[in-house]
Structure 1
């Protein structure tokens, strides 16, 4: 008899919990939906100029340098290959697949 009562209570509680009406999700305006920060091109160019002077002074590679902007979050694109000849960074080169080509 006790098992029957418990089974009925369990079935009733499951039925009630499943029939709950759900409220529509309303977007919270307090949540920050701004775009994440990106690398500053002027800062990258200044650092590349410093790197180029360093490379010339120490007789290093004068074609390109690798810059990593540690001020950006690690989940963002902060790895750059800067081409001294074209005076621009190739930020699309992300990851290490380009090394093996």
Structure 2
């Protein structure tokens, strides 16, 4: 009879381990490969070669899929949750946490895939009241400025992972949590060259 509590504890422990093991995560090899491609791109274009931002939209929105990559350390410096566009669904809901729609069209309310140049810093009505303009560098995202797609924080984006739930969806901007933005903003303000932001799937 004395073994039952121990057996119960072990069963619960391994059950929890299994659940945690099933949570999707950023693939380290994949993010390193993207970072390597990013560094080549940044060198060719004269962009910042110390940091870049990588967003893996193949992951569900409830897990950390936003990464600030440190080229010098060849490792992740900052990570967090990031929203994607709601598309035809109502704003701020969680409709497409696993399968977002992507579009470059104005009025689509979708996130656009591709490489972006992070441009000027300005005030924002959202989050910590800071935003960065984004210039789309590819045919898949070259309407970013016209669509007013910017990089900002949003109170509805959680500070910790919420999977299997998702992150509330906006109108296509990559929005991160307030605390994550404070760290990223402090870093971006110090950079003299444009930082690359790459949204991929």
SS of residue paired to 2:23: coil
* Runs of at least 4 residues off by over 3 Å: none
CA distance in 2, matches of 1:51, 1:100: 20
Match of 1:99 among 166, 180, 184: 184
Determine helix, strand or coil for the equivalent of 1:62.
coil
| Unmatched segments (≥5 aa) in structure 2 | 1-17, 81-179, 187-201
In structure 2, C-alpha distance between the alignment counterparts of 1:52 and 1:100, rounded to whole Å: 21
Q: Please, what TM-score do these two structures have when normalized by structure 2?
A: 0.32
User: In structure 2, what is the equivalent of residue 42 of structure 1?
Assistant: 29
Equivalent residue number for residue 82 of structure 1: 69
Question: Highest Rg: 1 or 2?
Answer: 1
Compare the two structures and name the one with the higher strand fraction: 2
For structure 1, the residue ranges without an aligned partner over 5 or more in a row are 1-31
Q: Residue 38 and residue 83 in structure 1: after superposition, are their counterparts in 2 closer, same or farther (change >3 A)?
A: same
Matches within 5 A, 1:51-90: 51-90=38-77
1:48 and 1:39 map into 2 onto residues whose CA distance is 13
Question: TM-score with structure 1 length normalisation?
Answer: 0.61
